[in-house]
């Protein structure tokens, strides 16, 4: 079975998210991400999207990457996970690609054993490698209760 | 450039004083005749011989000093005598001019005369004639014969010749020499003074021309400077326009970004619609391609505006260098003008000295 991925870059690495989990892409500079006190660093804040509160995750913090200011090109990928609309900041959305099953390698065993194994697999696109992320696990469990109450 | 040519031609001109060609000066132009007259009168009286100064054509420029009765009342009284005198003077003068020294000779009427040339730069401008003396006692028969020739009363003529002073040849030569030296020194000094005047006048004229040229140079330096300033302003305007183009380009790039996002979101929607979204997916792809093209074009235009800006900056830099050079030139011109003024002052003093001589 083929899968379609929204491909984005973060810290010059390529990641992919299943298109069916993606609600849409926003330009971060069009929104004010309002920070919230007392929440984990992995949550950048919240935005008002068409009258709805949407929580924005900071993937850099989650992936342990060096923190950086929002760039001109930065995008928000809005995801539909756990019955809640939330999104994450990425450097740039580069492509939407279709990958066949033979081009996808399942997650390595050392990842599967760790607690927050949000890597679903590795996609091969010519000589590029795309880390396919699991949208459900990406927005980790420990953060969800807060979102549920806020939602 | 006409001024420069004019200044050059000036050097080719002859030395001219108050419109008078110095190479063609006459005796009366350079010698103070009153002074010469006084000197000649006193000298003639003191030494006891007659004297007169004539110009190059033989015309007297002084009144005769101490002419003898023999000459004045008898020899010159007839047309024939007068002519013979003139001829005699001419010959003496010619001889003096040829040798460049005073000549002592016997005149047609049997008196001893001398002719001393007045020369400037080897050119004869006049002659001092004199004498009307004798070295020995007169031979009566000789003067009776001459009186017959020129048609005067022989008795009176002989009587008059007896009144003529007797001087030794040596004394006559010395007297001629004194007149020769004094007259030539007078004319030489006068000539040098004229030359000095002429040179200082030329110097003065040239300095005025230099001053005028310097003023023109200063004015043109000002013009160049102000033109360059205007040019810099205009070029600055080009930079402003380039900046505005870049603003428009930013706006177009923003639209391209927005369009691309639209394409991405459309592609996501198409993917989620499954089979039904396939056609829409193609359109979405086309929109993304279009936005990518727009963005590339914006990039190219920005490269062009950047290159315009760098050219403009270079031009402004060169313009500023030109301005600096022109300012240095203006300063140099001022220095020259100051020097010329100083020299003009000296030249005026020189003129005053030349005129006071």
Q: What is the ipTM of this complex?
A: 0.84
The residue to which tokens 């065993």 are assigned: A109
B261, B271, B272 member nearest A27 (Cβ):
B261
Class (C level, CATH) for B202-356: mainly alpha
pLDDT value of position B137: 85
Predicted confidence at residue A115, as pLDDT, reads 57
Does A92 or A111 have the greater pLDDT score? A92
Q: Is the CB of residue B326 less than 8 Å from the CB of residue B231?
A: no
- On average, the pLDDT of chain A sits at 85
Please tell me the distance from the alpha carbon of residue B35 to that of residue B32, in angstroms, as a whole number.
Answer: 5
CATH class label, A2-150: mainly beta
Predicted confidence (pLDDT) per residue in B216-226, tens digit: 998 998 999 89
pTM beyond 0.80: the answer is no
The whole-number pLDDT of residue B4 equals: 45
- Tell me whether residues A27 and B267 touch, CB distance under 8 A: no
Is the minimum CB–CB distance between A93 and chain B shorter than 8 Å? yes
Q: Which residues of B205-232 are buried (b: 16+ CB within 10 A; e: fewer)?
A: ebbeebeebbeebbeebeebbeebeeeb
Closest CA to B317 of B250, B231, B242, B255: B231
Provide the 3-class DSSP secondary structure of residue B237: helix
Q: How many angstroms separate the CA of residue B259 from the nearest CA in chain A?
A: 11
Measure CB to CB from residue B271 to each of A19, A23, A93 and give the nearest one: A19
- pLDDT of B104 higher than 90: yes
Which of B258, B264, B272 is facing A93, going by the closest CB pair?
B264
The reported pLDDT for the residue numbered A113 is 59
Over residues B289-340, the pLDDT tens digits come to 999 999 999 999 999 999 999 999 999 899 889 999 998 998 999 999 999 9
Do residue B271 and residue A96 have CB atoms under 8 angstroms apart? yes
Kindly list the domain boundaries of chain B, sorted by start residue. 16-167, 202-356
Instruction: Point out the residue among B258, B268, B271 whose CB comes nearest to the CB of A24.
Output: B268
pLDDT tens sequence across B150-188 = 889 999 999 899 889 898 989 999 999 998 998 889 888
What gap in Å lies between CA A43 and CA A34, rounded to an integer? 10
Q: How confident is residue A2, by pLDDT bands cut at 50, 70 and 90?
A: confident
More confident residue, B311 or A148: B311
> For the sheet containing B123-133, what is the strand order?
B50-55, B123-133, B112-120, B103-106
Q: Averaged over B23-51, what is the pLDDT? A: 87
pLDDT in tens, A9-46: 999 999 999 998 999 999 998 899 999 998 888 889 99
CATH class of B16-167: alpha beta
Return the domain boundaries, chain A. Answer: 2-150
Subunit contact A25:B261, Cβ cutoff 8 A: yes
As a whole number, the mean pLDDT across chain B is 87
In B, what residues contact A, Cβ < 8 A? 257-258, 261, 264-265, 267-268, 271-272
User: Any idea which of A105-114, B29-38, B231-240, B335-344 has the lowest mean pLDDT?
Assistant: A105-114
Asked whether residue A8 carries a pLDDT value surpassing 50, the answer given is yes
């Amino acid at each position: 079975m083929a899968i379609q991925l929204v491909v984005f870059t973060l810290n010059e690495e390529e990641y992919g998210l299943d298109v069916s989990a993606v609600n849409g892409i926003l330009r971060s500079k069009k929104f004010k991400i309002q920070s919230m006190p007392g929440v984990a660093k992995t949550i950048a804040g919240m935005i008002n999207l068409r009258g709805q509160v949407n929580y924005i995750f900071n993937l850099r913090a989650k992936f342990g990457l060096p923190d950086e200011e929002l760039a001109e090109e930065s995008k928000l990928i809005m995801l539909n996970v756990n019955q809640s609309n939330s999104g994450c900041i990425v450097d740039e959305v580069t492509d939407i690609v279709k990958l066949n099953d033979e081009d996808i390698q399942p997650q390595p065993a050392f990842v599967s054993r760790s607690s927050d194994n949000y890597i679903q697999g590795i996609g091969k696109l010519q000589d590029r490698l795309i880390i396919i992320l699991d949208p459900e696990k990406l927005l980790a469990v420990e953060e969800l209760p807060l979102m549920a109450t806020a939602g | 450039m006409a001024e420069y040519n004019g200044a050059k031609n000036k050097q080719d001109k002859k030395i001219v004083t108050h419109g008078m060609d110095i190479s063609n000066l006459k005796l009366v132009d350079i010698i103070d005749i009153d002074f010469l007259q006084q000197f000649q009168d006193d000298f003639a009286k003191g030494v006891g011989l007659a004297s007169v100064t004539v110009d190059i054509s033989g015309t007297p420029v002084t009144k005769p000093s101490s002419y003898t009765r023999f000459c004045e009342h008898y020899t010159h009284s007839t047309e024939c005598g007068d002519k013979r005198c003139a001829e005699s003077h001419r010959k003496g003068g010619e001889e003096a001019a040829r040798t460049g020294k005073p000549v002592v000779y016997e005149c047609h009427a049997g008196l001893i005369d001398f002719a001393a040339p007045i020369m400037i730069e080897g050119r004869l401008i006049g002659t001092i004639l004199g004498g009307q003396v004798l070295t020995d006692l007169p031979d009566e028969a000789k003067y009776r014969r001459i009186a017959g020739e020129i048609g005067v009363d022989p008795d009176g003529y002989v009587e008059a010749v007896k009144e003529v002073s007797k001087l030794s040849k040596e004394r006559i030569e010395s007297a001629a020499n004194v007149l020769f030296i004094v007259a030539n020194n007078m004319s030489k000094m006068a000539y040098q003074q004229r030359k000095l005047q002429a040179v200082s006048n030329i110097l003065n004229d040239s300095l005025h021309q230099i001053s005028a040229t310097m003023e023109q140079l200063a004015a043109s330096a000002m013009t160049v400077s102000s033109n360059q300033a205007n040019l810099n302003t205009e070029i600055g305007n080009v930079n402003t326009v380039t900046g505005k183009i870049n603003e428009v380009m930013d706006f177009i790039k923003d639209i391209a970004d927005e369009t691309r996002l639209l394409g991405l979101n459309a592609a996501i929607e198409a993917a989620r619609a499954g089979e039904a979204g396939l056609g829409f997916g193609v359109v979405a792809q086309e929109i993304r391609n279009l936005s990518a093209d727009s963005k590339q074009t914006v990039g190219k235009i920005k490269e062009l505006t950047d290159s315009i800006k760098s050219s403009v900056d270079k031009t402004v830099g060169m313009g500023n260098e030109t301005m600096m050079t022109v300012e240095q030139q203006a300063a140099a011109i001022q220095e020259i003008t100051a020097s010329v003024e100083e020299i003009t002052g000296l030249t005026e003093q020189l003129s005053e000295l030349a005129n006071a001589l």
